């Protein structure tokens, strides 16, 4: 019987793929679940597995573009081939295995690992990096891959002991519940290096590698990296692998420059006169490319979405920071001695915002379909610049917190953000956002709303400026503040009044203590 192997659905927005490479030839015998070719879409690269054992008949050549559902090859399941010889080899090898061998034995079970649910609002993830290679032996709960979502990075632990079979390559974007890899379950402990090479069909020179920290993976390229090396004409022996056990990853290959080729000099009939020399400006003109992280790609997509889908406006005001600065200067040492935390500007702004939001609840609301959701609590999101990109952890029920509690929570969340250890719960559910561009020297900006919220307050640097006070010119420390808001839910009167209320509370800090 001939089994038709068709192009599978690999994503909602993907309608066609290209045959990048065949790993098997026409007429070869293939085993069930064996990788037979590599498919490329406009978003990622996928591997196509044989759905049964049998003789392969190729229907689409390398470079052909096929639509989802098109037949790519046939497998004659009635044909006999290498599987028979494999059975004979196993029979011959059986006596040797019975002689006190401690090598792991296959149970015949295959554990399918799918993308786990990592948060209510997360529908898809990206494979950031594989920490184990295809064919490696993995142990239960051993971390085998890192997975990126639009909010955080997670570790993927193995769900059984056995041989790893990778289904989704690095940079692949998968939906929750999608198949990510398989584990051929074994029992009896980890295999020796020699049997592991045999299990993966390795014919590399790793067996002659010097003893020490090197393994069979040292200096070997992953499938994606091998393709880049071949396309660019790179020398794999000159590339230092940064993957697990020195394996060459896709990023290693991408970051390696191709060998320079000297262009032949062309003879010209006439040359420029000696009196007209050609001047070349000194200085390097190097370029480098870096892959966008999943977090940055998602943030970019959402920022554009907010600009396109909201009626965003920005209103401005200025705040005399002298009263707060004098108050901090007077009590900051006593405050730190008592609460073991510094007294910063963010606690004043957070308290002022929570009080102003009570007076103007629309600024603390959000649109949900055809309804407006008003919040009786204030969860303030604080924008933090982290190594992987902008993160916005949330201070829960900020309206009921004291100055020292706010300062401690800001430090805790900012530290976790910079260490990449924020959880999904700590980054979801905010009702209003504060961003402080002043720490980088920004004088004025129009911050973008953090959807699905309806408003964001932008802080800026403090600069001494001449101000007219009661008919006199005085030099005062002034900060410009900006409120970006969604005009669909917040009217001009509400936005301006909210910002004026924040200004009043900051310029007279005793109002914050008295609640007036």
Q: Is 94 inside any structural domain? A: no
35: domain CATH number? 2.40.50.100
Give the pLDDT score at 44: 62
Q: Specify the pairing of strand 16-22 against strand 35-40.
A: antiparallel
Top mean pLDDT of 210-214, 362-366, 368-372, 511-515 is at: 362-366
Query: CA–CA separation, 420 vs 404, rounded Å?
Result: 24
Nearest Cα residue to 315 out of 114, 498, 128: 498
Residue 108 shares a structural domain with residue 63: no
Residue 282 lies in a domain: no
On whether both 352 and 486 belong to a single domain, the answer is: yes
220 is an active site residue:
no
Select from 424, 427, 419 the least CA-distant residue to 388.
419
Q: What is the pLDDT of residues 396-406, one digit of tens each?
A: 999 999 999 99
69 and 110 together in one domain:
no
Residue 7 inside a domain? The answer is yes
Q: What local confidence, expressed as pLDDT, does residue 275 receive?
A: 59
Residue 170: pLDDT band (50, 70, 90) is confident
Same domain, 391 and 474: yes
* pLDDT greater than 80 at residue 200: no
Q: What are the C-alpha distances in Å from 356 to residues 125, 191, 516?
A: 38, 65, 10
Kind and range of the H or E run holding 85? helix 82-98
Q: What is the pLDDT of residue 208?
A: 40
Residues 51 and 158 in one domain: no
How much is the pLDDT for 260? 59
Whether the predicted pLDDT of 352 surpasses 80: yes
Q: Which residues contact 477 (CB under 8 A, 6 or more apart)?
A: 320, 321, 322, 325, 462, 463, 464
Say if residue 491's pLDDT is above 90. yes
Q: What is the pLDDT of residue 106?
A: 78
Residue 310: how many CB atoms within 10 A of its CB?
A: 20
Q: For residue 427, what pLDDT band results from cuts at 50, 70 and 90?
A: confident
CA-CA distance, 146 to 154, in Å (whole number)?
6
- Reported as a pLDDT band with limits 50, 70 and 90, residue 100 is very low
CB 31: neighbour CB atoms within 10 A? 15
Are 397 and 484 within one domain? yes
141 is catalytic: no
In this model, does residue 84 exceed pLDDT 60? no
pLDDT of 50-59, one tens digit each? 888 889 999 9
What are the tokens at 294?
Answer: 């999943």
Query: Percent helix, strand, coil in the chain (nearest 5)?
Result: 30, 30, 40
Q: Which of 67, 490, 152 is nearest to 311 (CA)?
A: 490
More confident residue, 190 or 491: 491
Q: Which residue has the higher pLDDT, 279 or 362?
A: 362
Exactly one of 42, 64, 141, 491 is catalytic; name it. Answer: 491
Look up residue 266 and give its DSSP letter: P
247 & 320 share domain: no
Number of domains in the chain: 3
Q: What is the pTM of this model?
A: 0.53
Least confident of 77-91, 161-175, 200-214, 446-460: 200-214
* Residue 208 belongs to some domain of the structure: no
Statement: residue 77 has pLDDT above 90: no
- Alpha carbons 36 and 50: distance in angstroms, whole number: 6
Quote the mean pLDDT of the chain.
81
Percent of all residues in the chain with a pLDDT value above 90, rounded to a whole number: 34
Q: What is the pLDDT of residues 17-31, one digit of tens each?
A: 888 888 888 888 988
- Higher-confidence residue of 487 and 197: namely 487
CA dihedral 158, 159, 164, 167 (to 10 degrees): -90
Banded pLDDT at 90 (limits 50, 70, 90): very low
Indicate the pLDDT class of residue 12, thresholds 50, 70 and 90. Answer: low
Kindly state whether residue 443 falls inside one of the protein's structural domains.
yes
Has residue 202 got a pLDDT over 70? no
Name the residue range of residue 248's domain. 104-202+216-254
Say yes or no to pLDDT of 280 above 80: no
CATH of the domain at 347: 3.30.559.10
More confidently predicted of 267 and 334? 334
Question: Is the domain of 345 the same as that of 461?
Answer: yes
Catalytic residue among 70, 337, 487, 508, which? 487
Is 209 inside any structural domain?
A: no
Phi, psi (degrees; rounded to nearest 5) at 35: -70, 125
Q: Which residue has the higher pLDDT, 262 or 496?
A: 496
Q: Please, what sign has the CA dihedral across residues 34, 37, 41, 44?
A: positive
* Rounded-to-integer distance, Cα 166 and Cα 134, Å: 5
In a domain, residue 246? The reply is yes
Q: What is the pLDDT of residue 117?
A: 81
Domain annotation covers residue 318: yes
| 344 and 222 part of one domain | no
Q: Are 20 and 39 in contact (CB under 8 A)?
A: yes
d(CA 510, CA 496): 22
Three-class DSSP category at 356: helix
The answer to whether residues 386 and 420 touch, using CB atoms and an 8 Å cutoff, is: yes
């Amino acid at each position: 019987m001939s089994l038709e192997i068709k192009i599978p659905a690999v994503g909602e927005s993907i309608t066609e793929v290209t045959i990048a490479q065949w790993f098997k030839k026409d007429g070869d015998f293939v085993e069930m679940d064996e990788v037979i070719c590599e498919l490329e879409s406009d978003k990622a690269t996928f591997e196509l597995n044989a759905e049964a054992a049998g003789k392969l008949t190729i229907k689409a050549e390398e470079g052909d573009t096929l639509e989802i559902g098109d037949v790519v090859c046939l497998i004659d399941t009635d044909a006999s081939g290498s599987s028979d010889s494999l059975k004979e080899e196993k029979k011959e090898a059986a006596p040797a295995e019975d002689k006190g061998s401690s090598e792991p034995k296959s149970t015949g079970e295959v554990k399918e690992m799918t993308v786990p649910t990592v948060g209510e609002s997360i529908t898809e993830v990206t494979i950031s990096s594989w920490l184990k290679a295809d064919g490696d032996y993995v142990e239960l709960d051993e971390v085998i891959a890192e997975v990126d979502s639009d909010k955080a990075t997670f570790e993927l632990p193995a769900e059984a002991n056995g041989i790893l079979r990778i289904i989704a390559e690095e940079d692949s974007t998968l939906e929750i519940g999608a198949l990510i890899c398989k584990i051929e379950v074994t029992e009896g402990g980890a295999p020796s290096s020699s049997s592991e090479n045999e299990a993966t069909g390795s014919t590399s020179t790793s067996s002659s590698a010097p003893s020490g920290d090197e393994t069979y993976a040292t200096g070997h390229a992953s499938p994606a990296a091998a393709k880049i090396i071949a396309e660019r004409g790179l020398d794999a022996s000159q590339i230092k692998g940064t993957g697990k056990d020195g394996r060459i990853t896709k990023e290693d290959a991408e970051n390696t420059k191709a060998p320079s080729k000297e262009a032949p000099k062309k003879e010209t009939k006439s040359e420029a006169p000696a009196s007209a020399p050609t001047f070349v400006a000194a200085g390097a003109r190097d370029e480098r490319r870096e892959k966008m992280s999943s977090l940055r790609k998602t943030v970019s997509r959402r920022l554009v979405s907010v600009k396109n889908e909201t009626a965003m406006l920005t209103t401005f005001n200025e705040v005399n920071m002298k009263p707060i600065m004098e108050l901090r200067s007077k009590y900051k040492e006593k405050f730190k001695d008592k609460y073991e935390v510094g007294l910063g500007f963010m606690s004043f702004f957070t308290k002022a915002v929570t009080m102003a939001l009570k007076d103007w609840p629309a600024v603390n609301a959000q649109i949900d379909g055809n309804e407006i959701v008003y919040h009786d609590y204030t969860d303030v999101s604080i924008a933090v610049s982290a190594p992987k990109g902008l993160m916005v952890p949330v201070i829960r029920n900020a309206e009921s917190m004291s100055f020292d509690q706010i300062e401690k929570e800001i430090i805790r969340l900012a530290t976790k953000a910079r260490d990449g250890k924020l959880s999904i719960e700590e980054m979801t559910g905010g009702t209003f956002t504060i961003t402080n561009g002043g720490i980088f020297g920004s004088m004025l900006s129009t911050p973008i709303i953090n959807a699905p919220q309806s408003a964001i307050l932008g802080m800026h640097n403090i600069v001494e400026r001449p101000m007219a006070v009661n008919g006199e010119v005085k030099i005062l420390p002034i900060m410009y503040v900006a409120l970006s808001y969604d005009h669909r839910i917040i009217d001009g009167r509400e936005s301006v009044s909210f910002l004026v209320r924040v200004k009043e509370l900051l310029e007279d800090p005793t109002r914050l203590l008295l609640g007036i």
